[in-house]
Amino acid sequence: MTKMKIFVYNYREFDEAEYFQKFAEEYGVELGICTDAPTLENAHLAEGYKYVSIITSKIDAELMERFHELGVKMISTRTIGYDHVDLAAAEKFGISVSNVSYSPECVADYTVMLILMSIRKMKRIMQRAEVNDFSLPGIQGRELPNFTVGVLGTGRIGRAVIRDLSGFGCRIYAYDKYENESVKEHAQYADLDTIFRECDLITLHMPLEEENFHLIDRKALEKMKDGVVIVNTARGGLIDTKALIEGIESGKVGAAGLDVIEDEFGLYYYDLKSDILSKRDLYILRGFPNVVVTPHMAFYTDQAVSDMVKHSIESCLLREAGEEDPWKVL
Strand, coil or helix: what is 253? strand
Choice among 78, 156, 205, 296 that is catalytic: 296
Q: Is 68 a catalytic residue?
A: no
DSSP states along 31-73: EEE-SSPP-TTTGGGGTT-SEEEESS--B-HHHHHHHHHTT--
Q: Which of 258, 296, 214, 235 is nearest to 83 (CA)?
A: 235
Sheet of 51-54, strands arranged across: 29-33, 4-8, 51-54, 74-77, 96-98
Scanning the chain, the segments in alpha helix (DSSP H) are 17-27, 61-69, 87-92, 105-119, 122-130, 156-166, 192-198, 218-223, 241-250, 280-287, 302-321
Q: Is 235 a catalytic residue?
A: yes
Choice among 264, 311, 314, 319 that is catalytic: 264
Q: Which phi and psi angles does 69 have, rounded to 5°?
A: -60, -30
Q: What is the rounded CA–CA span in Å between residue 234 and residue 186?
A: 21
Find how far residue 323's CA is from the centre of its chain.
Answer: 28
3-state secondary structure 174-203: EECCCCCHHHHHCCEECCHHHHHHHCCEEE
Choice among 78, 84, 159, 235 that is catalytic: 235
Q: Is 264 a catalytic residue?
A: yes
DSSP states along 200-213: SEEEE-----GGGT
Q: List Cα–Cα distances, 279 to 6, 76, 266, in angstroms.
A: 34, 29, 11
Q: List the catalytic residues.
A: 235, 264, 296
